[in-house]
Structures are given as structure tokens and as C-alpha cells.
Structure 1
Amino acid sequence: MKWYSRAKYAIKSALAGWKASGFDFSSWAGRTFWGIDNGKLATNETIFSVISRLSNTLSSLPIKLYRNYETEMNQAADIVINNPNNNMTSFECFNKIEVSRNELGNGYAIIKRDIRMQPEELLPIDASYVTPFINSDDGELWYQVNGSDGTYYFHNMNVFHVKHITGASRWSGISPLNVLKNTLDYDKAVQEFSLSEMQKKDSFTLEYGANVDEEKRKRIIDDFRRFYKENGGILFQEPGVEVKEIQRKYFASDTISSEKITRSRVANVFNVPVSFLNDGEGQGYSSNEQMMIQFVQMNLTPTIRQYEQELNRKLLNPAERKAGFYFKFNIGGLLRGDTAARTNFYQAGIRNGWFSQDTVREYEDLPPVGGNASKLWVSGDLYPIDMDPTQRKGGDKSNGEAEKTE
């Protein structure tokens, strides 16, 4: 059977199964794919830290469906914002996808559709069991998913897929942990060496003169063995006997230097400021706002743009996209700066007519007031932007009086 026929049959079977009562993909999560994790994410503190911060930051961002800058709500928006599936919240769903993307290079979720082919659920699955391929019969991208009860094939429009960078010849993203393999192996070797050195007991050289008879020699050795076994205590050093400690070659500063190198390389691969990994050395940021600007520009903006385009393409139909619907993450909260910076920003916006007081209140999570607070003002100081200039204090009324005279 050709790939196309197999894929077409699998999709039809899946669609038929979705329509049947009581069928879902609940068996895919947990029991089928997720088990005991012995990977780098669960055994390396630096990797756990950076992936936790990236995934938590993205899944915490507000996302809304817009239509020409106005918020809207439909079935697709409800799935993305509130209830992606019966087992998890929107935060947990995007968090799982982003963790998988940063750990394995790819984050996948099956888009389950209803009888009208509208999105009904978004179900994250383990990227280790997914293989993208181009079908030679129709030239389109398909995904092979290996489940515990068989192999499934999904067209790319039914698979939400976000990834790290890819080349022209591949459809799977490159795993950052594969890029960091040598760094992580070196870091693990240093940690194991440091731990083994710290767990070792002190070593000594026991010297005694040639004139020490065998009975006295045995008594000296037994006494020293007691001292070593008790890890201290009193040791009488008799004439003709000399005890010297063997100096260790391990220095704690070597481990610290190795950890700094590891943090720097991890930060480079994940495109985050090294201060995100609690390393402040060599940082030249004059404010937290500058650091967040770099993070948003180099890491977050490309990532959320990928998420937005996947959501727009696969959860909205062509008619909705043509009507002006689109999903958008709000990253303004990450760039607000401190209180003084926000105050200057809002004040400049209000006085120059591109912010209303209600807009500012919305940015600060306060309810709008309405009335004059919803209007744009210009400094003069201050008037509604649509107010007749002759009505302003000190305004030129000569033209108006001349018109009245005529």
C-alpha cells in the first residue's frame, strides 16, 4: 500500500473514531508516552533552570484572539485561552509543548476536530514518538505518530508543531541538548570528579625507622588504623615514627570556573542573558528593562511569532483569516520597566495624544472609567483632541467673531 493510501486511510479512521462515542486520546498522555524521566532535564540543574524559565515565561503570557485590533471569542479562541482539552489548562498545555521544544527540539500537539472540522481539543504528545515526512504522492507534510496501540498518520494541518531551527533538508528542529552534548558531558565529569574527591578520606604517609622492631611496628600500624577508622582522635607519635598528610590536588575554584563556562554555553545556545542562570559576571545592563529587551528581541519574539503563525494557520479557517482574525501574545508586561519608566512612558503618551487614560488603566490591569478618560488629549493643557481650538483657553476667536458679524 502506498504512503498516500495508508495516510488517507489512517486519517479517515481517526475522523470516524472522533465521531464515535467515548473515544479520545486520553490513553496517549501519561500511560503511553510519559514515564520515568532520566534525561538531562531531570538530572542537570542548569538545563532544568533555563528550560523552566523559558517555558514558564511563554505559558504565562496573555494570548487573545483579535479582529482588526478588537478582541473576539470563538471556539478556537476558547480552546487556546481557556480549555485546550479535558485534562489540562491552557498554561499547562503550552508549558508542556514549550518544554518539549526546548528539550527535544520539537513540540507537538494533535488538533482534534469535531464533525464540522472545527478545532475541538489540543492534545500535547511526546516528540520522541513523532516523525515528520513528505508524502511522495501529494508532496505534502505528514506526521507519523507511534502509539502503544498502533501507528497513526496525520496531515500537517492537524498537528500543531513548534521547533528550534531547521535546515532546508529537514522538518524536525535541532535539539539544544544535542548541541550541548559535549558541554554537558564535561560538566557531568567535573561534578562526578568533585564529588568523589570530596567523599574521599584524608590520606597519610606513615614512616618509621629501621630500628623499630616488628612488635612495635604492628602496634603502631594498629593504632593508626584505629585513628583512621574513627576519622580523627588522638594519635601518639612515638620516636622514630613520622606521619605526613598527602595533600590533595582538588581545588573548589576549579569547579566554580567549570560551572561558569557551562552556564555561559547554555545561555548562548538558548539565546538568553547569562544572568537568567544566576551568573552576573560580565553583565553590562544598566537596568532590568535593558536585559528584558534583549531577551524579548533575541529569544521570545521569534518563539511567540512561531506559535502565533501555527495557531492562525491551523486553528482558524481561511474565511476567518480573511476577515481579520488572528491570535496574538501580549509581551508588553515584560517591557514595562520600573515605576518611574512606566510613569514617563504613560505621561508622554497621554500628553501627545496617542494614549487615553483608559488605555493606561488597561495596561495596569485597572477597569476603564469611560467618558473623558476614553478620549485622546493634547497638551494645551490638556484638551480633547477633537475640541475646536477656538474654545481652548486663550484661543484665537477672531475668525469666529467675524463669521458671526457676517
Structure 2
Amino acid sequence: MNIFQGIFKARDKPKNLGSTSFLWGGSSSGKVVNERTAMQMTAVYSCVRILSEAIAGLPLFVYKYGDDGSKDKHLDHPLWRVLHDEPNPEMTSFVFRETMMNHLLLTGNAYAQIIRNARGDVVALYPLMPDRMTVDRDSQGRLYYRYRKNSDDAPEVSRNKPSDVILAPSDVLHILGLGFDGLVGYSPIAMAKNAVGLAIAAEEYGAKFFANGAAPSGVLEHPGTIKDPERIRQSWQSTFGGSVNSNKIAVLEEGLKYTPIAISPEQAQFLETRKFQINEIARIFRVPPHMLADLEKSSFSNIEQQSLEFVKYTLDPWVVRWEQAMNKSLLLESEKRDVFTKFNVDGLLRGDYASRMTGYATARQNGWMSANDIRQLENLDRIPAELGGDLYLINGAMTKLQDAGAFANTTITETEEPSDGQSNTGSKPKQVPRQSKQ
């Protein structure tokens, strides 16, 4: 036991390797990059919104395995209402998951405080701000969560000291993204701060370009000595600065001469830079560019396939992270064998109407879907059981492989027809051997 305690003590403290850069916000472009400045970029905002709303909008259910191995919705489980309807009295399930996913995408971690009753059942979940949470170890190497309080908290919470709240891992729902130690996730914005910073700088350059009248910066030259250059600069800016003054004709007096010194945006490939940064940010979050309204490399023939790949390669990993974190933290040890949570992504994987109907027809004819199974997926009312809505049918021409040719040499019964053309009543059956085909 002492050996294992020594190993635990020697473990490194969990940390986000990108957190320092994330908090200070330094980037090579000279722009401050953090979760708030990054969200001012339309590409970042779109990616975060697409993924957050996708996870928040997926149906989330609690299931239980039956004795025969089947799985059924566990409507009576305490988690059903918490996850499916209201995680807490202040939020709906959609808003809670959207908020948590927003934290996860911007900081690499999402935390929620777990409120339990006397039996240990989860009765509420409250999101916690990730920038105020620290994951640490005690002297025995055991994990704990330290949450920093501030004046924004409830009065009864922020009134007393100390300023930190210590939470056990069993009291925190922690969903983390890609990380170094598997305990704390990286901040995607911090890890890609230079790409985001370049996008911010390009957008700011374009805004200032139009703010200056869509004209390059330049120099006002005077043949003599100007006594008050600041007055002339302010007069020029107020008269010709801004996009509303871009078409005004400048009248220069006293020998003044305007000489532009900046290169044009086309020469600086300004538009190409902004377009490339959209793809860079889409690459960070693994979102197809066409979902960010960039249709340059998309067509009507491949958008559907790209949308299916978005579900498979982008949403599925996040769904698995959510499901496993909830099963680990929200379920009692005694029920983890039989109860589990699961998102339903079938609706996102459905193709167009013709493709769905073809798939349903195949499933119906091969006996592994009933009419009501299909109608449930299409959000249609069930057909009553007495009308055959729950019947499972199969093509009658199909047979087992081992029965193929089993009736090749059997005899069939034929009725002899009377030779005089009279009725065949009372005629005797005749046994005719069945000839197998060679």
C-alpha cells in the first residue's frame, strides 16, 4: 500500500498546457486572443454555435438493459428528468448542454456541480465557469476540484471566507477535450492562438481600411514649413476619413501634395488571407467549410456526404465524451452495469426522402423492422396492433441454406383426370416422383 501511495504522490499536478497562453492572450500577430475576443470572429462564433446547438439538440435518453439483452428507455430513473427536461430550475436541457459545450469548445473543459439527494440520486446539475476551476491533488495523490468564488456568486456563498470551494470528483461532472494527461483538456483557442490572432488582425485591417475612406494611407507634403501639422492632419481626417467620405474630391491648398505610401489590399492578398483563415478556424473545430457559408469547394452532389461525415467524424467523438462522462459521474456504482445514457444521432444520419424509403423497404422486407418501427423514426402515429402495425414480415421465397434442395427428391400428389371427360369426383390420387434437375 505504501508503494502505491508513493506513486500517487509522485504524479504530476493536472494542468492545461495551453492555459498560460490562453489567459495572457499573447499571439504572434500582436492581438489579444482569449475566449471573448475569439468569439468576435464570425468563423469561431459559427463553429462554436454549430457544435453547441448540435449537441444540445440531440435527443438524450436514459436506457436500461433487460434480462433478454434488450434496451428500453428508463423513464422512471431520476436522471431522466434531469438530462431530458430540466437539469436545474433555471435552465432547460438544451440551454444547459449548449452552455457546457460552449465552455468545452473554448476552454477544453466543461464543469457542472452535481447536486444529490439523501439516496445519492442526482437531482440537479449547475454549470461552473471553467476559468475559475482548478484540478489539483492532495497529499495522498487524490484528485479534487478547487472553485474560486467571487462577488458574482450568491451572497450566502461569497459572504464567507475562504474564497475557494473544494469539491470531490464525485460532485463534479467534468467533460474534457483533448489533453496531455487525460485529466484536464487543452484550450483549442490557446493552442491555435496564432491562427485566430491572424484572423482578428486581418479583420481589423479591413475595418480600418474602410474607416479611412477605402484609400491607402499616405503623406501630405508641403514645400515649406508647417507651423501646426496636427491641425492639418485632423482637418484632413475629418474631411476625407471614413467610408462615407470616400468619394469626396480633395482640394489641396498652399502647395500641399498627397502621396500614398501603402500597398493595395489586392497586392497584400488581403481577401485571400481572410478566406484562408476561415478554413483554418474550421480546421481547428473540424467543421465542414460549407457549414460556415463557404461554398467555394462544395456542390449539391457532395454537401450531403460532407454533412454525414460531419456527424461521423466531428459530432460522434464529442457524443462519446459526453456519454462516458455522464455514465461515470452521474450513475451509482450499483447501476452502472444495467443503466446508461445515450444520445440519438439517427435523425442526423438519415439521408434524403428517397434514400430513407429505400432503406425502410429493405428493412421491412427482411423482417428486422415493423411498420411502427419505421413510423416512429419518421415521427408518425403508430398503427394499432390489431391492424398489423407490429408485425415483422419476411419474403416467402427465402429459405435456410441447409434446406436448399431438401425437397428435390420428394413425391408430389396429382389427381388423375377421367378419360371420358366426366367429373373427377372420386378419382384416386397418383404419386409422381419429383425429378431433380441436374
Does residue 116 (structure 1) correspond to residue 119 (structure 2)? The answer is yes
Q: 1:207 to 1:338 in 2, by over 3 A?
A: same
Map residues 2-401 of structure 1 onto 2, 5 A cutoff. 39-68=36-65, 69-73=71-75, 74-137=77-140, 139-148=141-150, 149=158, 150-168=163-181, 171-201=183-213, 202=215, 229=239, 246=260, 249-251=263-265, 254-283=269-298, 286-322=301-337, 324-371=338-385, 372-380=388-396
Query: The residue matched to 1:378 in structure 2 has which SS?
Result: coil
Aligned-residue offset at 1:151: 1.3
CA contact (8 A) 2:265 2:271 kept: no
326-335 or 245-254: bigger deviation: 245-254
CA contact (8 A) 1:130 1:144 kept: yes
- Structure 1 CA distance for aligned equivalents of residues 274 and 326 of structure 2: 39
Gaps of 5+ in 2: 1-33, 66-70, 151-157, 225-231, 400-409, 414-438
Deviation of the 1:133 alpha carbon: 2.0
Output the aligned Cα RMSD.
3.5
The residue identity in structure 2 corresponding to 1:264 is N
TM-score, normalization: structure 1?
Answer: 0.73
Q: Is the 2:143–2:168 contact (alpha carbons within 8 Å) kept by the matching residues of 1?
A: yes
Structure 1 distance, partners of 2:411, 2:318, is 56
Counterpart CA distance in 2 for 1:335 and 1:128 is 35
What is the Cα deviation at residue 398 of structure 1?
A: 6.4
Q: Secondary structure at the match of 2:341?
A: strand
Aligned length: 334
Query: Counterparts of 2:251 and 2:52 in 1: how far apart (Å)?
Result: 61
The Cα offsets for residues 3-62 of structure 1, whole Å up to 9 and x where unpaired, read as xxxxxxxxxxxxxxxxxxxxxxxxxxxxxxxxxx97135422111110001000000000
Structure 1 residues 124 and 398: CA distance shift in structure 2, 3 A: farther
Query: What do the CA deviations read for 1:288-334 (whole angstroms, capped 9, x no partner)?
Result: 43112211222211111111112222222122222x21111000011
Change (3 A) 1:397 1:44: farther
- In 1: Cα distance, 2:221 partner to 2:189 partner: 51
CA pair 199-236 structure 1, distance change in 2 beyond 3 A? closer
Shift of 1:155: 1.6
DSSP-derived class of the 1:373 partner: coil
Matched AA of 2:148: N
The 8 Å contact of residues 40 and 47 in structure 1, kept in 2 or not, is answered as: no
Aligned residues of 2:219 and 2:261 also touching (Cα < 8 A):
no
Matched residues in 2 for 1:285 and 1:108: separation? 40
| Maintained 8 Å contact 1:308/1:329 | yes
In structure 1, what is the Cα distance between the partners aligned to 2:313 and 2:37? 24
Contact 1:129 1:145 in 2 (8 A): yes
The offset of 1:140, in angstroms, is: 3.1
- What are the superposed Cα offsets for residues 210-246 of structure 1, whole Å, 9 maximum, x if unpaired? 9xxx9xxxxxxx9xx99x94756778999xx997874
One-letter code aligned to 1:183? A
Larger radius of gyration: 2
Whole-angstrom distance in 1 between the partners of 2:48 and 2:250? 53
Would you say the 8 A contact 1:59–1:95 is kept in 2?
yes
Higher helix share: 1
